[in-house]
Structure 1
Amino acid sequence: MLSRISKAFLPRLLLLALFLAGLAGCNGSRSAPPPQAHELPFAGQQVKVLAPAGAGISEFWEAPLAEWGTQTGGSATVVEYPPDDATALTRAATSGETSVIAIVPYSLLGDAAAVLEFELVPESAWNVDSGIGWQDLLPGVREGLASCRRKPMLVPLSAPALVLYFRQDLLNQAGLKPPQTWDDYHRLLETLPDWAPGLVAVEPWSDSFCTTMFLSRAVAHAKHPDHYSVFVDLDSGTPLIDNPAFLRTLEQCRSAVEKMPDAIWMLGPLDCRRMALEGQAALAIGYEPQGEQRRQNPQSQTASRVDGIEIGVCRLPGSREIYNPTRRQWESPAVRGAAGPPLFRATLTAFDGYAACCFVKPGAKSAEARWNALSSAAGSDLAAGFPPGIAGVTRESQLTNPAEFTGPELTGTEAGDYMNALADALREPTVVHELPFPRRANFRKSLDSALVAALRNQTDPEQALGSAAGEWSRLIEEIGLDT
C-alpha cells in the first residue's frame, strides 16, 4: 500500500523540490549578473598607462587593470618607456589616439612640460574611494609640488627629503639640543670633540649628490614665503643661483666640510645614515632607503646597528634670516602664529622619485577614467599597489605606518621620529621642487662643477656661483624663457 502511495506522490514531490530550489536561488546564493554595458561608468573608454621600464609596473598591474576593465567597461594597457629618455616619453605620450596617464620620474617632468600640456586633475577624481585622495596629500606636497600656481597638475607618488640623524644619548649627556638653525648646527660641529669624542659628522657630498645637498641647505635662506621663484626669476629668466642666499650657504658649507672626514666626497645619503646607525657619526644628513635603493637590493642598505646607542631624527635646520630677491636685502619678518624669534624652514624634494600626471590630447575624454584606472591598480593610497620602491611618504594616512617607509634597524621610537620629521617638513607650504626645468641634468652639471671647485678651495665661492649662473643663462637662452 505504502509503495503504491509513494509512486503516486513521486511526481508531485519532484515538482516541489524544483520549486524550493528555485526559491533558494532567489534568496541570493547565486552571484548577481554582470551589469549591462550601458550601466558601466567608463564603457568603451581606452586608457594607456605610461610606466618607466624596469620598475615592474607592467607585470604588477596586469591583473588589477584587467579587473578594472571588467568592472567599468573600459580597457587599460601599460606601455613602458626608458626612464631616462625624455624623447621616448614624449613619443609614447603622443602616439595613437588613446588617452594617456603617465608615471614620470621627476627628472623628466621639466622636459615633458616643454613639449606636452599637463591636464588638470579633475575634481571628480579627488575622492578617496574611486579617485586619488587629493585632500589626503600632505599640504606642502599638495600645494608646493602637485600644484602649479594653485592648479592641481600632478599626483606625487613620493616626496623624498633629507633629515638629520643625531646621537640623542650624547646630546642628552652634554645638556644640548638638536639644532633648529644652521648656525646651531655649525656650533655643534665646532664643539663635536667635546660632546661626541672620537665621532665625526658627515654629509652626502658625492659627485652624484652634491647639488641636492647644497640646495637642501640653501632653501632655508632662499625660499622667501612671498616669492614663487627660487632658483631662477621666472619673469625675467635671470638665474638667482649666485644671489646672497646661495652665496651665504656655500660659504657655510665650505666651513662645515673642513670639519668633516675626506670620506664625505664619496658618501651618498644612505652612507651617511649607515655611519650614524653603526656608531661612527654623531651627526649625519641622509634619509631612509627608498626608490631605486629599496627596489634593487634592500639588503645591501641594512646597517649593522650598534647596541646601546640612541638615535634622534629631525628635519633639516632653518634660518633666522631669509633673503628677499626683489628688495635685495636680508629680512627677519615675524612668522604668523609663532612665538619667539622667527625661524624660516624650507624643504627640498623631487630630487628623486615619481609623479603621476595626465597629458592633454585632442579629442580625449575626461581624465576621470584614467585616474580611476590608476587608483584601482595602485590602491586608494596610491602606494600599496605599486611594486616596492615606487611610492614614498606623501600622505597623511601613511604617517601611522612607519614600518612601511623606514629601515628595520630603527626602533619604533626612532621610526616614529623619522615620520614626524617628514610630516613637519612636508606639511609646510615651503616645499621646493628641485630644479623643475627642461634639461635638468645640464643645470645640475654646471652647478656640480662650481660646487666642487669652491668646496675644495680651488676657487672663491662668489666666483664659482657666478660661473654657474653664466652657464645657466646660456641654457635658459637655448631653451627659451617661455618654456
Structure 2
Amino acid sequence: MMLISDCLLSVRQFLIARLLTRWLPVGLSLAIAACHGISANESRSDSSSDLTKTTPHPNFEGVTLTVLSLTPGNGITEPIIDHAAQFEALTGVEIKMITAPFDLLYQEILNDFRRGIHNYDVVIIPPQWKADYVQYGYLQDLTKRVKTDSAIQWEDIAVFFREYYATYEGKVYAIPLDGEVLSLYYRSDILEQQGVIPPQTWDQYLDLAQKMDGQDLNNDGEADYGSCIARTLQTNSRMLWAVASSFLQTQGTQQGAFFDSDTMKPLVNNPAFIEALAIYKETATYGPTKPGNETLSAMEIRSLFLSGRCALTIDWGNLGTLAMKSNSPIKNQFGTAILPGSPKVLDRETGQLVTCNQSICPYSEEGINYAPYAAFGGWVGTVNGALEGKTLDTAYAFLSYMSQPEQSNLDVMTSSTGFNPYRMSQLTNRQSWIEAGMNKQLASRYLNAIYMSLNNPNIVLDLSIPQYEVYQQEILHPILMDVLNNEISLSEAILKIDSSWEEKTDELGRESQRQAYCQSLKIECN
C-alpha cells in the first residue's frame, strides 16, 4: 500500500508523469508508474470531457484535497484521477491521490478515522462499509447539501441506490459513482439455433449449460463451456447468492435474503438453500477450471465469454461495456437478461421448500419468483466527518462533480472504467449507448435487464452489516471451495456455514448485528 509521502503527488503531477512515460526510458517510466500504482502503459483514452458543458464552480484556490481510492488497475481510480484533473482546472483546488489495494483499503480508512489522523478528506468505498464508519460519526452527513444541489440531479439516481446504498438512518452519507447489479449474459445466436429463450429458471439455466458444454461454440476446433462463473474470494459468495436469492427472498427487498430479521439466524439451514447450493455446485461442472483447483478471475471469465467460449455467464454491467470496444467474434451475438428465478421458494413459517403462490410470492411472474441481486452495489464517495469550512465545501463539490450526468454518463459508457449505470437517464437514453459503439439490439437488452432489475420490488440488497466481509469471504468462500472441490458434502457445508455465521454474530453481538441488518433493510426491529 503506497501511503508514503514520496508517492504523494498531485493529480497534475500524476498526469505529467503519465505523459512522460511515452518518451522516458523504460526503467524510469516503470519507476514513475510504480510510485503511482499504475502500469506504465495504462491510461484512459477519453481522459477529459468538455469543460464548457459543466455547471460553473466556485473558486477553491488554496485548498488541498486528499482522496483515498482503490489501487489503479481495476478501472475505478483511473476515471477519478481524470475527473480530479478536470476539477482542479475548473476550481483551482489541488487534489492529491492516494491508493491502496482492496484487501487493505477498509482497515486503512478505519485506522485513520479511529486514531483521528485525518489523512484523507474523501474516501471512495463500497457502500457496505458505511455502516461501520457512520455509527462512530466518521462520515459527513451530506443530506442538506444534496437537497440544495441542483447540478447533481439526485432524483435521477435510481431509487434503490439512493435509498439503500447512499443513506443510513434516513441521512445521505455517500454519493453514488457506480451501480452494480448482477445479470445473466447469454449467446443469443446459440439460443436462436436451439429455438429457446433466455433461461427463466435456474433449472433451465442448468439444462442449457449441460447441453452446450463440451461443444465448439466459436468454431476454433476446441471444446467450450456451458457456464462460466467467477468464483474468486471477492465473487464466490455473491455468485452463490445470485442463485440462492430467488429461493430465499419473496416478499420484497425489506424481507432480506441473508438472515431472519427477528432472530438473526442465517437463512442457510433449510431445504431451499440446500437446493440453491446444489445448483451452484452443478454450474461449476459445465465451466472452466485451472490446474490445482485454482479459480478464474472475473476478467478471465469475461475474456472467455467475449472470445465465444461460454454459452452462459453471470456478471455485472462491465461485460456489456467491454464488448462495445472489443474485437470479440460474438460482439453482436449475445444478450443480457434479468437473473433466472425459481418456482420453488422457502416458506419461512414452515421452513420448507414450497411452490410459489400469490401469498408467498406476491411479486412472482407466471409462478416464478425473481430476485435480482444488487451484489456489491457500486462504489460511492464519502467525506471525512471531521472536515469543516472550505475543505468540506470542496470535498462535497468534488463528489458532486463526478456524479453529475456530464461526467458519470461518460464513465458508465467507457469500457476502461469499472463504473456501471446508476442513473435512470443512463438506462433510458439508449441512443447514447448506440452512439458510443454498442449494437442496437444489445443496448436494448443490456439496459432493459438492468432497468428491470433495479425496478423489481423484490431486488436483493447485498449484505450490509458490520464485518460483512468476514461472513462472506473469510467464512463462506473457503467452505464453498471445499464443496466445489468435492471435499465436503452439501449437508456438511450447510452446517459449517450456519454454525460459523452464528458464532460470528454472537461474537459481534447478536442484537447489535440484528439492529444493523434491520437498518440496512430500512425496517423497524422489534
Q: Do they superpose with TM above 0.5?
A: yes
The answer to whether the aligner puts 1:426 opposite 2:454 as a matched pair is yes
- 1:155 and 1:93 mapped to 2: Cα distance? 19
In the alignment, which residue of structure 1 is the partner of 2:474? Answer: 445
The equivalent position to 1:344 in structure 2, one of 370, 394, 399, is 370
Correspondence 1:63-462 to 2 at 5 A: 64-65=87-88, 67-68=90-91, 80=98, 82=100, 84-93=104-113, 95=116, 101-106=122-127, 108-113=129-134, 115-116=136-137, 118=139, 120-122=141-143, 125-126=146-147, 129-130=150-151, 132-148=152-168, 152-192=172-212, 199-208=224-233, 209-226=235-252, 227-262=254-289, 266-289=295-318, 304-306=327-329, 310-325=333-348, 327-330=350-353, 332-334=356-358, 340-350=366-376, 353-358=378-383, 360-361=385-386, 370-380=395-405, 383=408, 389=417, 391-399=419-427, 411-443=439-471, 444-462=473-491
Identity %: 20
| Distance (Å, rounded) in 2 between the aligned partners of 1:355 and 1:308 | 30
CA distance, structure 2, for counterparts of residue 234 and residue 77 of structure 1: 43
Give the whole-Å Cα distance in 2 for the aligned partners of 1:478 and 1:347. Answer: 28
The aligned amino acid for 2:278 is E
Q: Structure 2: where are the runs of 5+ without partners?
A: 1-56, 72-76, 218-222, 514-526
SS at match of 1:52: strand
What is the root-mean-square deviation in Å for CA atoms of aligned residues?
Answer: 4.4
CA distance in 2, matches of 1:101, 1:477: 33
Q: Which of structures 1 and 2 has the bigger CA Rg?
A: 1
**Which residue type is aligned with residue 455 of structure 2?**
R
What is the CA distance between 1:249 and its match in structure 2? 0.7
Q: Name the stretch that deviates more: 276-285 or 464-473.
A: 276-285
Q: Any unmatched runs of 5+ in structure 1?
A: 1-39, 70-74
* Offset from partner CA, 1:93-117 (integer Å, 9 cap, x none): 5747999554223464454346445
* Residues 128 and 447 of structure 1: CA distance in aligned 2, closer, same or farther (over 3 Å): same
- Whole-Å separation in 1 of the counterparts to 2:316 and 2:257: 24
Give the structure 2 partner of residue 20 of structure 1.
none
**Equivalent position amino acid for 1:398 in 2:** Q
Residues 164, 230 of structure 1: CA spacing in aligned structure 2 closer, same or farther, 3 A cutoff?
closer
Separation in 1 of the partners of 2:438 and 2:344? 34
Check the 8 A contact 1:201/1:282 in 2, yes or no.
yes
Q: Deviations over 1:387-422 (max 9, x none)?
A: 962532111122256798899996332233222212
Q: CA deviation at 1:47?
A: 9.2
Q: How many Å apart are 1:428 and its aligned residue?
A: 2.3
Residue of structure 1 in register with 2:9 after alignment: none
TM norm structure 1: 0.72
Is 1:52 the counterpart of 2:52? The answer is: no
Instruction: Specify whether residues 147 and 242 from structure 1 end up closer, same or farther in structure 2 by C-alpha distance, changes over 3 A only.
Output: farther
Q: Normalising to structure 2: TM-score of the pair? A: 0.67
Equivalent residue letter for 2:249: K
Q: How many residues align?
A: 431
Q: How many angstroms does 1:354 deviate by?
A: 1.2
Paired with 1:393 and 1:317, the residues of 2 have a C-alpha distance of 21
Cα distance in structure 2, aligned partners of 1:124 and 1:96 = 25
Question: Could you tell which deviates more after superposition, 333-342 or 440-449?
Answer: 333-342
Residue-by-residue CA offset, 1:333-364 (whole Å, 9 max, x unaligned):
4266876334322213216x411234655988
Go from structure 1 to structure 2 and tell me whether the alpha carbon gap of 1:255 and 1:92 turns closer, same or farther (over 3 Å shift).
closer
Residues 18-41 of structure 1 show CA distances to partners (whole Å, capped at 9, x for unaligned) of xxxxxxxxxxxxxxxxxxxxxx99
1:96 & 1:420 partners in 2: Cα distance? 45
What is the identity, as a one-letter code, of the residue corresponding to 1:184? Q
CA distance in 1 between counterparts of 2:420 and 2:326 reads 20
**Residues 62 and 312 of structure 1: is their aligned pair in 2 closer, same or farther, counting only changes over 3 Å?**
closer
Pair 1:44–1:327, CA change in 2 (3 A): farther
- CA distance in 2 between partners of 1:210 and 1:109 (Å): 22
Q: Aligned letter for 1:349?
A: A
Residue aligning to 1:8 = none
Report the secondary structure of 2:209's partner residue. helix
In structure 2, C-alpha distance between the alignment counterparts of 1:479 and 1:115, rounded to whole Å: 16
Task: Note the alpha carbon deviations across 1:276-303, whole angstroms, 9 max, x for none.
Answer: 332322223334547xx99xxx89x976
Which structure's relative contact order is higher, taking Cα pairs within 8 Å and 6+ residues apart?
A: 1
In structure 2, relative to structure 1, the CA distance for the partners of 1:392 and 1:362 (3 Å cut) is closer
Residue 324 of structure 1, CA deviation: 4.1
Q: Which moved more, 1:372-381 or 1:384-393?
A: 384-393
Counterpart CA distance in 2 for 1:243 and 1:366 is 52
Q: How far 1:472 sits from its partner (Å)?
A: 2.1
